[in-house]
Amino acid sequence: MMWIKNKAIPALAMLMALLILFAGQPVHASGVEAAVEGKPANPGSLTFVLVHGAWVDASFWDEIAAELRKMGHTVYTPEYAGHGSDQNKNVTHAQETKSVVDFIKQKDLHDIILVGHSFGGTVIQKTAEQVPDRLKRLVFFDAFVLPDGQSAADQFPAPAKEMFVQLRKASGNNTIMLPFNLFRDTFVNTATLEQAQALYKKVIPEPGGSLFEKLDLKKFYSLPTPKSYLYLTEDIAMPQIPPYGWHPGQSSHLGVYRFIEGTGDHMTTPHTRPQEIADKIVQAGRD
């Protein structure tokens, strides 16, 4: 027992010395500081900028963003012109894109994974042209990938495109509002009626002009930025009739890309199964 006691004394002395050495030294909560500055709090985390699609605002991402943050990632959900608190519906695609570009520059974001859902795919295409040096990867989540010189409306079969033309004319203010029956059958097709009705309350009239704008995307198709496509197999917001549909209709425009597949529809699943979607987004965005 004396041997144990004698050995314990130097160990205790060393511990006391360490306590004295570090007493009064500042403790750096590096993770907290990094989070405040908008930087990843740990080396394995990623920085996501999530861009919503048509007929919704940035709150579309609330549940998914919360799940990504729980994983330790940094997440931004910018709003763009003609949506959210902006009541001006006579906006151009360039104005919508500028909102996202300005947000990225004002936050001085770098190495970002830029994610676009639905119509948001067209916004991230044009955003990428303006801030390519700030991007790590582009992720298209059941999103449009427009060919050069085409519009989002051009991606639909002629009868569907004509329907949007008529809805735009009928609005009287250059917007397009989704009729509930169309929304219920194609955007939230896996939802219960109660879920569909609750989600429809969040649907907002979409500025009609930008949906029909034909975009010059030559620069986009010259960029070396890595790209991914996340496809949910039950998403029929785009008619899944070749050559239309999300995949391979839209995804094939990317050329070489990472393909990630999940299950779910266009607007129900992001709200009811956000953890699954967050996991898929990470798979699409990571190295």
Residue 210 known to be catalytic: no
129 to each of 191, 210, 218, 228, 247, how far by Cα in Å?
Answer: 36, 18, 9, 17, 23
Instruction: Give me the catalytic one of 45, 99, 118, 251.
Output: 118
CA-CA distances (angstroms) from residue 199 to 28, 67, 145, 202?
44, 20, 25, 5
Which residues are designated catalytic? 118
